[in-house]
Structure formats: structure tokens, C-alpha cells
Structure 1
Amino acid sequence: MYDTSDSHPDIHWPSGFSPADAHSFHRAQGLVHGPPERAFTLLTDVSNWPNWVPECEEVSAVTLTRTFEVFWAGHRFEVFVGEHVPPRRIGWLGIGAGVMLYQAWLLTPTEDGTEIVVENAVRADGPSSLDTLSRAWAERLNELWLSQLEKLSQPAPGAQPES
């Protein structure tokens, strides 16, 4: 399991899903231009995920609801929203493919935009079609987070360039 000091102190973990309980723990952070409200809106626009989240094929909901399904990387995940505090934080639990994953997003306004931290605590009972302990899984998550941070960094459609 992982040292809880690896986690951002402002991330809220549900019981059983802290880094100390995880079989795999991943963290990414970055600075994006624009206010937390814009990043939060993009993150919670679940119907648009297939347009920008790598390997997200389909989402069952048109808007963010307490539960919905996501088809990602050929697997079905049932998603339960555990925390929803606009525009500061959001967290959800995904269950599927022999894996349980809690993903927490923390958005903090800064002078230059928004600092975003995303952390994942992953639990798997045994071998599954998604090998969460493999290097390929970690690389896939890194690709996912980097593409999400890049998307969040882009100006809102129709926005005027900063001078």
C-alpha cells in the first residue's frame, strides 16, 4: 500500500480508498489558464467526455448525476459521485473490470489560473482485464491526466486571447 503523505493534504478520501488502502496510487498536477469554474464545468460535462478523454467511448448520462455508466478502454464502469463542491473539488468512484478506482480532483485558484491536482487510489481483488499494477496501466493513466490537463488549459470557445 502507499504512504498517505504522497497525497495532497486537501484531498478527501472516502473510507477504504486512501492511498494507504490502495493497490495502486497515481497523482498528477498542473497549472491551467483560466478560472476554476471553467475547469470544473469541463470536468463535470460528462456527456462531452468521449470527445476529449482518451479511450472514453460512451457515457450514459447527459449531465452529471449521482450515478452513471462510463465505457472506457473497452470496459464498463459504474460511477458514483462521492464529492461535488463546485468549483473547488469533485471525486468519484468507478467500479468495473475487477477494479475499484476513486478519482479526486482539487482545483485551487492562483494568480496565473488554476492549480489542478488529480489523484487516484485503485483497488483490485486479483488479476483483472486491467492490470492496475503494471507499468502500462501507469503510463495509460499518465497519458489520460496529461490530455485532461491540456484540454483544461485551452481557452474557452469564443474567449478573447489574454494580453
Structure 2
Amino acid sequence: MNKSEVIWPDYYHPKHSHIHVRSQIEIPEPPEVVWQHLVRAHEWPAWRDGKTMVQILSGDSTLCKNTMFRWKASWLDFHCTVVEYTQHQRLAWKGKKGGVDMYHAWVLEPTKTGCSIVTESTQRGGMTWLTKYFAPKRLRRYQLKWLEELCRQSHGHCGK
């Protein structure tokens, strides 16, 4: 397995999901700098002009293993639990909304000029058999905006 690949729990693996979206960006900051912004969930709403809401349900405002939180963004609204946490390298949470199960993972890998950030998410169950026809495009746009904002938070701007 490549270091930049997500370690999928079998249940959430893309081969078992109706929806799978992967996005990637490289930024000129080391993983340690990016990580500090990624795990501060309470700051996410400020990134998106109030279009995102995060409510920490257990733990403090910085995500760590087993932190439970509610994450609402646009049409997404999930109760999540952090299930993977390797400081400066890997972060993943699973979430649930009604009959839909989701998994969202982040992998940070150092490069010669900063770091590569990969984010992937899957959804299964509920109406995903139907939403798979339009949701992936919307999720990809959302992921790309989030990656660009993570770049801005970490570096001050994000070149295109």
C-alpha cells in the first residue's frame, strides 16, 4: 500500500459504497502546519462564511481519536466519530445520517516543497443508490473548496 492511500475499513471501502470521491492538492507547507488547521474543527465554520456548522459532542475543540462531532455543511448533516488519527499524517471519521453511512479520510504526506493532501469520502446505504447519480459531482466541488481553504489557512493563499 502506498503511504498516500486511505486505509479503508472494509464496510466503508469504495467497492462497497455507492458514492466515492477523491481529491488531492499539493501545498508549500509541511504537514505539521496543515495538520494544525485540519484538526481544529471549531474553526471550520469561519472558513466557509458560516456555511458550515460544527458542534463538538465529546472531547475538546481539537479533533483526536474518538472525538464525536456533528458536521453540517450545505446539504450534509452527519453525526461523526474520529476513527483514525495519526498526528500530522492521517485523520478519518465515520458518520451517520438516517440510513446513510459515510467515511471521510485525510492523508498528509511530506513532499520536497511542502505536502500532498489527499481526501477521500464514501457513502453507502439510505438513498445513496439514487443520489450516486448527482452527489459525487457536488461532493467533489465541496472537497476541492475545502482543500483550497485548507491551503489558504495554512499558507495565506492558494495558487491555481
Into which bin does the TM-score normalised by the smaller protein fall?
0.7 to 0.9
- 1:58 paired to 2:56: no
Contact 1:33 1:155 in 2 (8 A): no
The residue aligned with 1:20 is: 15
Taking a change above 3 Å as real, the CA distance of residues 97 and 73 of structure 1, as seen in their structure-2 partners, is farther
Q: Distance in 1 between matches of 2:127 and 2:14?
A: 18
Q: Counterpart of 1:112?
A: 113
Structure 1 distance, partners of 2:89, 2:16, is 25
CA distance in structure 1 between the partners assigned to 2:50 and 2:3 by the alignment: 27
Q: Aligned Cα RMSD in Å?
A: 2.8
Q: For residue 142 of structure 1, what is the amino acid of its counterpart?
A: R
Does 1:138 find its partner at 2:136?
A: yes
1:127–1:18: structure 2 CA closer, same or farther, 3 Å change rule?
A: closer
Instruction: Measure how far apart 1:93 and its partner are.
Output: 0.6
Q: SS at 2:10's partner residue?
A: coil
TM-score with structure 1 length normalisation?
A: 0.78
State whether residues 53 and 147 of structure 1, in contact with CA within 8 Å, keep that contact through their aligned partners in structure 2: no
CA–CA separation in structure 2 for the residues paired with 1:145 and 1:99 = 19
Work out which structure has the larger RCO, using CA pairs closer than 8 Å and 6 or more positions apart in sequence.
Answer: 2
1:59 is paired with a residue whose SS is: strand
- Work out whether residues 4 and 109 of structure 2, in 8 Å CA contact, stay in contact via their aligned partners in 1: no
**2:32 matched residue in structure 1:** 37
Rounded Cα–Cα distance in structure 2 between residues aligned with 1:85 and 1:144: 24
Residue number in structure 2 paired with 1:79: 80
Counterpart residue number, 1:91: 92
SS in 1 for 2:88: coil
1:3-18 equivalences in 2 (<5 Å) = 10-18=5-13
Unaligned runs of 5+ in 2: none
Structure 1 segments (4+ residues) deviating >6 Å: none
Deviation of 1:125 after TM superposition, in Å, equals 2.8
Find the aligned partners of 2:49 and 2:106 in 1 and give their Cα distance: 17
The aligned amino acid for 2:126 is D
8 Å Cα contact 2:18-2:128 kept in structure 1: no
Give ranges in structure 1 of 5+ residues lacking alignment. Answer: 1-6
Q: TM-score, normalised by structure 2?
A: 0.80
Counterpart amino acid of 2:94? L
AA aligned to 1:141 is L
Shift of 1:91: 0.5
